[in-house]
Amino acid sequence: MAHASEGRGQEFRLPDLGEGLTEAEIVRWLVEVGDVVAVDQPVVEVETAKAMVEVPCPYGGVVTARFGEEGTELPVGAPLVTVAVGTGEDGAAPAAGTEAAASAGGESRVAESAGAASTGGESRAAEPVAARAEAAGSGNVLVGYGTSEAPARRRRVRPDRRAATGAAARTNGRVRVAGPVDGPVGGSADGPVEGLVDGPVPVISPLVRRLARQNDLDLRELTGSGPDGLILRADVEYALRASAAQGGRAADHEARTGRAPVTAPTAPASATTPGVPRSGTVRTPLKGVRGAVADKLSRSRREIPDATCWVDADATGLMRARTAMNASGGPKISLVALLARICTAALARFPELNATVDTEAREIVRFDDVHLGFAAQTDRGLVVPVVRDAHARDAEGLTAEFARLTEAAHEGRLTPGELTGGTFTLNNYGVFGVDGSTPIINHPEAAMLGVGRIVAKPWVHEGELAVRQVVQLSLTFDHRVCDGGTAGGFLRYVADCVEQPAVLLRTL
């Protein structure tokens, strides 16, 4: 028996995806209106300022409405989908064997439910379903934190064609609407919608979307060469080459239509005209990762009275120790892992720097565990993954975790939990070929160690001038948590360990 026709509409809103996140951009819809979804089944892929995640729906039933097109930015708490929840004993999706009944008697009622949800602006109130969702193993909103039960296969429940008041034709991912449309499609729900309405774009890879977005290419204009019209990276690259060869978008439009695009004549803007940008001005919105970084760095500058001290150190001994470790067999030890091990040893001696300031309570909060963040530059911008319990890991364990988090950062697979909760940050800006820096503290932490490039320089060693591997170390710290003596002692201990790694043996 089918429950879709008797279902109650449940509106699923965009949940809080992590600390400090207030909005997310829809990257790809994983379901369409009419699909049957199971509890905890991912329904949409979104990109936040910190990661790209799939959002599972805590309700099971028939999707009756979607809110927002791909590329739309939604605030936390905004509606994502409306699901018609069945009234059976399990409170989940309709049974798999009821497709015939759903198509015979439930189609029109599902369509009416979808129309009511969109034209009314609000879904009908329903009794709480928390008990049923908990019984089904739900209550979670992030993939990886929910139940381990595999989602059921989706099947399409097609709305009754008589419920629609206009004819539609789908071509290349777009729908041309000739009359009023049931459901929120970007216009007024109680009036006719004319023109083109964007539909789902057959793209799976976020890398393909990013490549198109960076080159201002509309994926809806492409025909995919993959299975079922899937747009591949090769399709995007071919389109970009073709557009460049034809002189840009205007020439491409002229080649397709046989006529040049008509534009209204515009008067040249004066450089002194208020509100008119100068020629060549480019405005980039502060959003996504760039916006999150800007907000966090600005807050750090406003709230933290920071100071910086630095010292040059002879890293020849550390480099030789690493060479000896890697020559003994086993996994290769990375340099950043050795620096992280030195950091954790220094924080054990100077725990004042493994802390934060609670401004509301006017208290310094000191942490026992070291959750070490490290700066990673990616195509999406600067991110700071966090190595949990770094103080409890050896050099091999730190090397493996750094490699895993770095790969996830470059592929955009970091979860919000892997980007928050740090207590101290290691910034290896030497990879950019620079010697020194005065970094901004990663709020709300209290300190950051910066490491410059290791380069051969003349150095007095054992009373004689020699060529040694020299590195500049800098420590930026919150002056509220300690004075200069503590900060200087921390940095001097780090430098001693870099120059003589055997110093670490005292604490192993």
439 near 454, Cβ under 8 Å?
no
Place of tokens 């007024």: 188
Those residues whose C-beta lies under 8 Å from the C-beta of residue 504, and which sit 6 or more positions away, are: 341, 342, 345, 497
Q: Which of 216, 358, 479, 496 is catalytic?
A: 479
Start-to-end CA span in the chain (Å): 67
Structure tokens at 88: 């059976």
Please give the Cα distance from 118 to 315 (Å, whole number). Answer: 65
Q: Which of 182, 410, 483, 496 is catalytic?
A: 483
At residue 414, φ and ψ (nearest 5 deg) are -65, 135
483 is catalytic: yes
340 near 398, Cβ under 8 Å?
yes
Element of type H or E holding 508: none
Instruction: For residue 426, list its beta bridge partners.
Output: 374, 449
Q: How buried is residue 442: exposed, middle or buried, by Cβ count under 10 Å (0-12/13-18/19+)?
A: buried
Structure tokens at 295: 């907000």
Structure tokens at 61: 């039933």
Please give the Cα distance from 364 to 361 (Å, whole number). Answer: 9
DSSP characters for 192-239? Answer: ---EEEE-------HHHHHHHHHTT--GGG----SGGGPPPHHHHHHH
157 near 62, Cβ under 8 Å?
yes
Q: How buried is residue 92: exposed, middle or buried, by Cβ count under 10 Å (0-12/13-18/19+)?
A: buried
371 is catalytic: no
Pairing label, strands 372-374, 424-427: parallel
Active centre residues (catalytic) = 479, 483
